[in-house]
Amino acid sequence: MYKPDVIPAWVAEMDFALADPIRKAVAALSDQMDLGYPLREGGVAENAVGTAFSRRMKSLFGWDTDPKLVQPVADLVQGTFAPIMAFSEKGDGIVLQTPAYPPFYEAINTLARQLVANPLRDGADRYEIDFDALEASIGPRTRMVMLCNPQNPTGRVFSRAELERIGKIALAHDMIVVSDEIHSDLVHPGHEHIPFGSLSPELGARTITITSATKSFNIPGTRCAVLHFGTQELKDKFHERIPRRILGAPSIVGIDATIAAVTTASIDATIAAWDDSQPWLDEVLAYLTANRDHLARRVAADLPGVTFHKPEATYMAWLNCSGLKLDKPAQQFFLEEAKVGMSAGETFDPAYAHHARLNFATSRSILDEMIDRMAAAVARRGRSEAAA
């Protein structure tokens, strides 16, 4: 995507080696020449993934889930489109806190639904939900809340009180909640992730949780994600509109890698991630938190005109570059002048061209090189303006 002289800091994956259980699970498939159909736990791949998911939710959040209510899919974006198709019609409204992950907009627009935008407020030290605006925006055809928690790109981890207030609104207006919780393993100290579906049985009955081991354990290429339905009735209604065959299936590599992430490569990689790789994740998260804090110090000291709220989760910094008063989008400026390739803020919301999303899941030396380049670009611009 970028020329060799650019440091890429845009896509949400990490510059770290795989957890050893995942590496072993994937290698074992090759060593055993086993790249056939993903038959696990009685020949049904979704049983193995569902069991690993339930173990994971219980271990991390104390949330009891039924493995039979899990539907594996190949991709989390696929898992975003399908619930919208199942529980709304063309022209129906979908609530989304903005700025937001670009595929959410793609799903809403491609499926001819109406975006009900709920812009987050930029508070003193974090982004906050504007509940008054949210309630005022809901109309008779608003069918669904598309929740992203932890939130991408701002890094907010919504509190129990915030989630319960969203839940109250969803109940009052009979809305389905689709909760993307793929970043829930990557919560920094001092903050707590609460699965939306765990808030109450009443809310669980209208909640579809979508998640994957791929983000936390750095295995996005293995292609394995899950949808969890709060009740069998909700899952049955989903499949009335969305046949299982249309969802595809994770690969054997993705399943085994996911299970390894928590224990042991798509199906095997997922199981390896969720069942066996927590020590690796603990070490990675400590490094990410230290990188986040280092980035905050460097930005404050060396990038006048740039600010950001420390993310409460994820390894993405949502940089506010409005103080630079650029005549072009922030991402374009830093790509051209600093050779640092970040995600463009305007792809998360057209109003955010003065923002850029920076991935800090890299070595400290590369992180410092990015900041040094950006600081030099800002300094050169300052000298040029002073001389004009």
Q: Tokens in use for 111?
A: 């499926």
So what's the pLDDT on residue 224?
Answer: 83
Beta bridge partners of 127: 122
The answer as to whether 356 is a domain residue is yes
| CATH at 74 | 3.40.640.10
So what's the pLDDT on residue 259?
Answer: 54
How far is the CA of 363 from the CAs of 41, 172, 214, 291, 292, in angstroms? 39, 47, 20, 8, 12
Query: Residue 342: how many CB atoms within 10 A of its CB?
Result: 26
The answer as to whether 99 is a domain residue is yes
The answer as to whether 1 is a domain residue is no
CB 321 within 8 A of CB 356: yes
Q: Are residues 240 and 344 in the same domain?
A: no
Q: Are residues 308 and 267 in the same domain?
A: no
Query: Residue 364: how many CB atoms within 10 A of its CB?
Result: 13
Q: Which domain holds residue 89?
A: 34-276
- Domain end call among 231, 254, 276: 276
Q: Are residues 212 and 251 in the same domain?
A: yes
Strands 93-98 and 142-148: parallel
So what's the pLDDT on residue 229?
Answer: 99
Amino acid of residue 117: A
So what's the pLDDT on residue 147?
Answer: 99
The answer as to whether 25 is a domain residue is no
The answer as to whether 184 is a domain residue is yes
So what's the pLDDT on residue 13?
Answer: 95
So what's the pLDDT on residue 321?
Answer: 99
| CATH at 302 | 3.90.1150.10
Q: Are residues 65 and 174 in the same domain?
A: yes
- Domain end call among 276, 296, 326: 276
- Number of structural domains the chain divides into: 2
Query: Residue 300: how many CB atoms within 10 A of its CB?
Result: 12
The answer as to whether 20 is a domain residue is no
So what's the pLDDT on residue 1?
Answer: 77
What is the helix (H) or strand (E) element at residue 143, kind and residue range?
strand 142-148
Q: Are residues 360 and 217 in the same domain?
A: no
How far apart are the C-alpha atoms of 353 and 345, rounded to whole Å? 5
Residue found under tokens 């290429």? 221
Q: Are residues 125 and 240 in the same domain?
A: yes
CB 137 within 8 A of CB 117: yes
How far apart are the C-alpha atoms of 343 and 2, rounded to whole Å? 12
How far apart are the C-alpha atoms of 272 and 208, rounded to whole Å? 24
The answer as to whether 85 is a domain residue is yes
CB 76 within 8 A of CB 180: yes
Q: Are residues 321 and 269 in the same domain?
A: no
Q: Are residues 338 and 254 in the same domain?
A: no
The helix/strand/coil state of 176 is strand
- Domain end call among 241, 276, 311: 276
The answer as to whether 382 is a domain residue is no
* Nearest CA among 94, 90, 65, 66 for reference residue 80: 94
Q: Are residues 80 and 209 in the same domain?
A: yes
Q: Are residues 41 and 102 in the same domain?
A: yes
Enumerate the H helices of the chain as residue ranges: 20-31, 45-61, 76-87, 102-110, 131-137, 160-172, 201-204, 232-241, 252-262, 273-276, 278-302, 330-338, 364-387
Q: Tokens in use for 62?
A: 């104390």
Helix 232-241 and helix 76-87, axial crossing angle in degrees, nearest 10: 90
So what's the pLDDT on residue 382?
Answer: 81
User: Per-block average pLDDT, block size 10, for the chain (388 residues)?
Assistant: 94 94 80 62 65 94 97 87 98 99 98 99 96 98 99 99 99 99 98 99 99 92 89 98 78 55 57 88 98 99 98 99 98 99 99 99 99 98 76
Q: Are residues 268 and 338 in the same domain?
A: no
Q: Are residues 235 and 96 in the same domain?
A: yes
How far apart are the C-alpha atoms of 166 and 196, rounded to whole Å? 10
